[in-house]
């Protein structure tokens, strides 16, 4: 009798597949930022024109912070994908939080709907919370990568609320 062909027992995707997946997830994460940039090209000017609380950061802080956060979001998604778990509920949560993230800038800046943007960001914070819990079941590292995102969005929620309140008559 002949011997059976060797079986590939490594469940991990190939290196090219992993690289492609990471590229797609980076594009998705940074793509959500691009929606805001295209819809609202002068966010810094608009932000400067608003009455802001004393604790509001300067507009120059947002770009670097979001760059790091989008990279972490993509990496978290990739870690979960590598384990074969970025599908079904996890994928819906991941995609949902990116959609809510993408909607916030056009709502807040381009449309000037600061109250609607506040509802959006509260929903985003809730969805990030659920995404962290879902990712934790597959990868503790992926869940931890989303914690700074959660913290920044929590801060941004308070900032959105304060700006909405301070500018409600404008």
Where residue 142 falls among pLDDT bands split at 50, 70, 90? very high
Q: Quick one: which of 39, 105, 31 has its CA closest to 74?
A: 31
List the structure tokens of 113: 């709907």
Residue-number span of the structural domain to which 113 is assigned: 16-166
Number of structural domains (the chain) is 1
The verdict on residue 6 lying in a domain is no
Q: What is the pLDDT of residue 94?
A: 94
The verdict on residue 4 lying in a domain is no
Q: What is the average pLDDT score of the chain?
A: 91
- Residue 86 belongs to a domain with what CATH number? 1.20.1260.100
Residue with tokens 């869940």: 143
- The H or E element that residue 169 is part of is none
The verdict on residue 8 lying in a domain is no
pLDDT in tens, 107-135: 999 999 999 999 999 999 999 999 999 99
> Widest CA span of the chain, in angstroms?
86
The verdict on residue 5 lying in a domain is no
pLDDT in tens, 3-54: 555 555 556 788 888 899 889 989 999 888 898 889 888 999 999 999 999 9
Q: What is the pLDDT of residue 13?
A: 82
The verdict on residue 2 lying in a domain is no
The verdict on residue 106 lying in a domain is yes
List the structure tokens of 19: 């690289």
The verdict on residue 102 lying in a domain is yes
Q: What is the pLDDT of residue 9?
A: 53
Q: What predicted TM-score, i.e. pTM, was given to this entire model?
A: 0.88
The verdict on residue 9 lying in a domain is no
């Amino acid at each position: 009798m002949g011997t059976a062909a060797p079986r590939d027992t490594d469940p991990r995707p190939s290196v090219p597949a992993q690289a492609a997946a990471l590229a797609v997830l980076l594009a998705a994460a940074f793509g959500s930022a691009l929606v805001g940039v295209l819809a609202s090209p002068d966010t810094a000017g608009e932000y400067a024109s608003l009455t802001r609380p004393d604790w509001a950061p300067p507009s120059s802080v947002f770009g670097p912070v979001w760059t790091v956060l989008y990279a972490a979001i993509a990496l978290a998604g990739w870690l979960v994908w590598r384990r074969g778990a970025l599908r079904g509920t996890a994928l819906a949560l991941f995609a949902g939080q990116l959609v809510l993230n993408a909607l916030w800038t056009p709502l807040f800046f381009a449309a000037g709907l600061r109250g609607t943007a506040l509802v959006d960001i509260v929903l985003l914070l809730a969805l990030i919370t659920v995404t962290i819990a879902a990712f934790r079941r597959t990868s503790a590292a992926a869940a931890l990568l989303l914690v700074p995102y959660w913290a920044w969005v929590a801060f941004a929620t308070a900032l959105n609320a304060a700006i909405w309140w301070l500018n409600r008559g404008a």
